């Protein structure tokens, strides 16, 4: 990495006083990761691992209990126009027209601009998201997808350094979601906008992200690993599943969400994890490689991808990841033999 990270997250933790208890409930702790300029980073994890809290902290809307977020050279302190947020529920002002919603941010960014200039700027971004003709419409008169487009235009119109998206498409139907993902992809390719997004949709992450941060389940959630997207940069939604890396990547993510995120919940394996540089995994056809960022590479071999030649299985049959190397990823060792009959509802963390 020659680029200087735009955002560095260092030792982030969020704890709440337990209700009626004396102790503190740790949502997540020891989070270290960075976002480079122009990078698209997705964070995936189950509900309760504090994804939204992380995004709110990055946005400056929430404060961490421990740790800092460094933007450029400065520790983050409060919200800023440089970090625009696209909210899950679009959060448009219902009393303002689509255009006026966008103008609100533009006028705040450029206090010295004339009203005409603000309007022209807002219109430009409205047409960027293909909403020409909807300028005067109130959010209630727009469809869900169109509202979210206005939300995207509002965020982009302030020309932020980074765009923070909190499950922006989760409330939309599949068709609209797809077209909006394409929209984000094309905008991003055109503008090289740095984006940080929360999702729980694997396909969305694979299509959009360069880097996928995997969170274990809460409480005491942490970053289990960072997966690099091994699909080509010019991937298309309709084509990417033909790429040989598609299923290894997808299976790896899915297997994490289905099994490992739960096994690692509650701080299992945390004592051996290297927080500062979580293992970076590059799932490619044939094997899954994990590179320790500083020293000798750790190689992870996914049994599922090795022993099952048919990669089109969308759900791996409880693959067991065997860690080799420096033991940084030893968390995977104790997963035990394939447990086909283990119910999904089991919540007891499997200790070793």
Residues that bind other proteins (CB under 8 A): 59-61, 78-81, 83-85, 87, 89, 91, 93-96, 104-105, 108-109, 138, 140, 158
Nearer to other proteins, 121 or 222 (CB): 121
- Tell me the closest approach of the beta carbon of residue 110 to other proteins, in angstroms: 12
Helix (H, G, I), strand (E, B) or coil at 284: strand
Distances (CA, A) of 207 to 88, 141, 202, 229, 244: 19, 30, 9, 9, 15
29 contacts 66 by C-beta, under 8 angstroms: yes
Nearer to other proteins, 158 or 214 (CB): 158
Residue 66 parent element (H or E): strand 66-71
- Tell me the closest approach of the beta carbon of residue 105 to other proteins, in angstroms: 4
20 Cβ neighbours under 8 A, 6+ residues apart: none
139 contacts 147 by C-beta, under 8 angstroms: yes
> Residue 184: left (phi > 0), alpha (psi -120 to 50), or beta?
alpha
- Tell me the closest approach of the beta carbon of residue 85 to other proteins, in angstroms: 5
Nearer to other proteins, 104 or 146 (CB): 104
- Tell me the closest approach of the beta carbon of residue 155 to other proteins, in angstroms: 8
> Residue 273: left (phi > 0), alpha (psi -120 to 50), or beta?
beta
Q: How far apart are CA 213 and CA 220, in angstroms?
A: 16
Residue 74 parent element (H or E): strand 74-75
Nearer to other proteins, 160 or 266 (CB): 160
Nearer to other proteins, 158 or 240 (CB): 158
- Tell me the closest approach of the beta carbon of residue 185 to other proteins, in angstroms: 23
- Tell me the closest approach of the beta carbon of residue 25 to other proteins, in angstroms: 21
Nearer to other proteins, 79 or 338 (CB): 79
Nearer to other proteins, 56 or 245 (CB): 56
Q: How far apart are CA 299 and CA 324, in angstroms?
A: 6
Would you mind telling me the total number of residues written for the chain in this entry?
Answer: 352
- Tell me the closest approach of the beta carbon of residue 211 to other proteins, in angstroms: 23
Q: What angle do CA 298, 300, 302 make, to 5 degrees?
A: 175
């Amino acid at each position: 990495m020659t680029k200087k990270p735009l955002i560095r997250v260092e030792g982030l933790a969020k704890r709440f006083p337990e209700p009626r208890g004396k102790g503190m409930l740790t949502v997540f702790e020891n989070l270290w990761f960075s976002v480079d300029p122009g990078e698209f980073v997705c964070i995936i994890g189950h509900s309760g691992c504090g994804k939204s809290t992380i995004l709110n902290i990055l946005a400056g809307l929430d404060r961490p209990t421990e740790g800092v977020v460094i933007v450029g050279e400065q520790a983050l302190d409060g919200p800023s126009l440089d970090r625009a947020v696209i909210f899950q529920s679009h959060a448009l002002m219902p009393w303002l027209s689509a255009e006026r919603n966008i103008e609100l941010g533009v006028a705040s960014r450029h206090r010295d601009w004339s009203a005409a200039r603000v309007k022209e700027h807002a219109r430009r971004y409205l047409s960027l998201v293909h909403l020409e003709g909807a300028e005067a419409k109130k959010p209630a008169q727009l469809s869900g997808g169109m509202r979210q487009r206005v939300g995207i235009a509002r965020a982009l119109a302030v020309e932020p350094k980074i765009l923070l998206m909190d499950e922006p498409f989760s409330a939309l139907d599949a068709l609209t979601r797809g077209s909006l993902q394409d929209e984000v992809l094309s905008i991003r390719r055109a503008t090289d906008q740095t984006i940080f997004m929360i999702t729980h949709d694997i396909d969305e992450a694979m299509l959009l992200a360069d880097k996928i941060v995997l969170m274990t389940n809460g409480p005491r959630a942490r970053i289990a690993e960072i997966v690099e997207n091994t699909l080509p940069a010019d991937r298309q939604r309709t084509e990417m599943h033909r790429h040989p890396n598609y299923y290894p990547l997808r299976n790896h993510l899915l297997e994490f969400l289905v099994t490992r995120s739960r096994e690692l919940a509650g701080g299992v394996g945390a004592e051996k994890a290297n927080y500062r540089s979580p293992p970076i995994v590059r799932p490619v056809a044939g094997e899954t490689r994990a590179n320790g960022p500083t020293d000798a590479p750790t190689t992870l071999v996914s049994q599922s991808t090795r022993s099952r030649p048919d990669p089109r299985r969308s759900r791996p049959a409880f693959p067991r990841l065997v860690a080799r190397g420096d033991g940084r990823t030893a968390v995977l060792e104790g997963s035990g033999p394939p447990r086909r009959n283990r119910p999904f509802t089991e919540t007891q963390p499997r200790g070793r």
